[in-house]
């Protein structure tokens, strides 16, 4: 695979929800294994994933391992598919795909679904140790009462700790430059005892800690790992609820949280 020199670019955009949030909202992050059924090669679980989203009705959904018009998607769906467009159509959400790299004659990266109309921007992340390019997707949320915050989704390097640490620093650098409350979720590919996790600043909370800090999000429910996270600005948000949902649609489990914006 040709190594890319990655760069950070920040096109500032705004999202206005069709129904203004009143302070409490829900989020979901899910690595969907490019829409494939991990237990039945060549089949898809995308309908089940869409139904899960519609049942939970989260306001924001961060999705990882997204294919866009790849040969791999053709092998699963019978034709090349943009998975974010397909999920947006199936759920009624607005979707955006942030390509991390060219892959299989198409693209591969992260996605964000939101309720209502939206504008988004992507962020390319550093890979100082080489390996797969990685990205994030962000949106600026306007509540209609003058309050704003950033919501983002990402998928960090699975190969090198050096890359993961650099990518955490990229995300922190952007969020600090915007001086807005932050929600950041996704597959971080690190455990809570890793050096990359230690880079998370003290004013960011880990939504799992007061609820299910030992519940795995990857592998199996008994012996897996917790590598998927919802991080939040502790000064601006509080976590009302948190759940790891043990459904078999991917090699990861979806992570859900109910969050309140402090007054």
CATH of the domain at 44: 3.60.10.10
**Residue 262: per-residue pLDDT:** 92
Q: Is residue 208 part of a domain?
A: yes
Better pLDDT: 144 or 115: 115
Pick the residue with more confidence: 25 or 141? Answer: 25
Instruction: Read off the pLDDT of each residue in 173-182 and give the average, rounded to a whole number.
Output: 92
Q: What is the pLDDT of residue 87?
A: 98
Work out the mean pLDDT of the chain and round it to a whole number: 91
Tell me whether residue 246 is in a domain: yes
Residue 215 lies in a domain: yes
Domain that holds residue 62: 15-261
Residue 118 pLDDT grade (very low, low, confident, very high; cuts 50, 70, 90):
low
Distance set, CA 144 to CA 37, 149, 222, 259 (Å): 40, 12, 43, 18
Residue reference for tokens 């640490």: 165
* Whole-prediction pTM: 0.92
* Number of domains present in the structure of the chain: 1
Could you tell me what percent of the chain has a pLDDT over 70? 91
Q: Is residue 3 part of a domain?
A: no
Mean pLDDT of 134-158: 91
Three-state SS sequence of 60-105: EEEEEEEEECCHHHHHHHCCCCEHHHHHHHHHCCEEEEEEEEEECC
pLDDT of residue 21: 61
Asked whether residue 2 is domain-assigned, the answer is: no
Residues 98-122: what's their mean pLDDT? 91
> Would residue 76 count as lying in a domain?
yes
- In the chain, % of residues over pLDDT 90: 82
Does the pLDDT value for residue 196 go beyond 50? yes
Q: How far apart are CA 189 and CA 107, in angstroms?
A: 21
- The answer to whether residue 2 scores a pLDDT higher than 80 is no
Position 18 scores a pLDDT of 38
- Predicted pLDDT of residue 6: 36
237 with 183: CB under 8 angstroms? yes
More confident residue, 90 or 223: 90
Q: How far is CA 239 from CA 9, 169, 209, 219, 223, in A?
A: 31, 24, 10, 25, 26
Could you tell me if residue 6 is inside a domain? no
- The predicted model gives 225-246 an average pLDDT of 98
Strand partners, 171: none
pLDDT in the model for residue 250: 97
Strand order across the 106-114 sheet: 94-103, 106-114, 60-68, 24-31, 255-261, 237-244
* HEC per residue, the chain: CCCCCCCCCCCCCCEECCCCCCCEEEEEEEECHHHECCCCCCCECHHHHHHHHHHHCCCEEEEEEEEECCHHHHHHHCCCCEHHHHHHHHHCCEEEEEEEEEECCEEEEEEEEECCCCCCEEEEECCCCCCCCEEEEEEEEECCCCCEEEEEEEECCCCCHHHHHHHHHHHHHHHHHHCCCEEEEEECCCCCCCCCHHHCCCCEEECCCCCCCCCCCECCCCCCECCEEEEEECCCEEEEEEEECCCCCCCECCEEEEEEECC
Average pLDDT of the segment spanning 46-68: 98
Q: Which whole number is the average pLDDT over 232-250?
A: 97
For the cut 90, the answer to whether the pLDDT of residue 4 exceeds it is no
Amino acid 8: pLDDT: 32
**pLDDT bracket for residue 17 (50, 70, 90):** low
Domain contains 160: yes
């Amino acid at each position: 695979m040709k190594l890319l020199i990655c760069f950070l670019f920040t096109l500032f955009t705004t999202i206005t929800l069709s129904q203004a949030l009143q302070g409490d909202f829900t989020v979901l992050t899910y690595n969907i294994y490019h829409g494939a059924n991990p237990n039945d090669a060549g089949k898809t679980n995308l309908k089940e994933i869409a139904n899960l989203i519609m049942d939970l009705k989260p306001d924001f959904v961060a999705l990882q391992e997204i294919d866009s018009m790849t040969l791999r998607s053709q092998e699963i769906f019978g034709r090349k598919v943009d998975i974010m467009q397909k999920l947006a159509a199936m759920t009624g959400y607005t979707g955006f795909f942030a390509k991390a790299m060219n892959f299989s004659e198409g693209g591969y990266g992260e996605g964000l679904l939101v309720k209502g109309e939206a504008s988004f921007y992507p962020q390319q992340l550093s890979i100082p140790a080489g390996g797969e390019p990685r990205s994030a997707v962000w949106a600026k949320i306007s509540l209609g009462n003058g309050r704003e915050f950033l919501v983002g989704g990402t998928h960090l390097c699975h190969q090198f700790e050096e890359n993961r640490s650099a990518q955490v620093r990229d995300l922190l650098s952007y969020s600090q430059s915007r001086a807005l409350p932050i929600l950041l979720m996704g597959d971080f590919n690190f455990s809570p005892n890793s050096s990359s996790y230690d880079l998370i600043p003290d004013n960011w909370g880990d939504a799992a800690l007061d609820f299910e800090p030992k519940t795995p999000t990857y592998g199996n429910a008994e012996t897996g790992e917790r590598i998927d996270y919802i991080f939040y600005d502790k000064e601006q948000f509080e976590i009302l609820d948190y759940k790891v949902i043990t459904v078999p649609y991917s090699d990861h489990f979806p992570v859900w949280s109910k969050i309140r914006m402090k007054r």
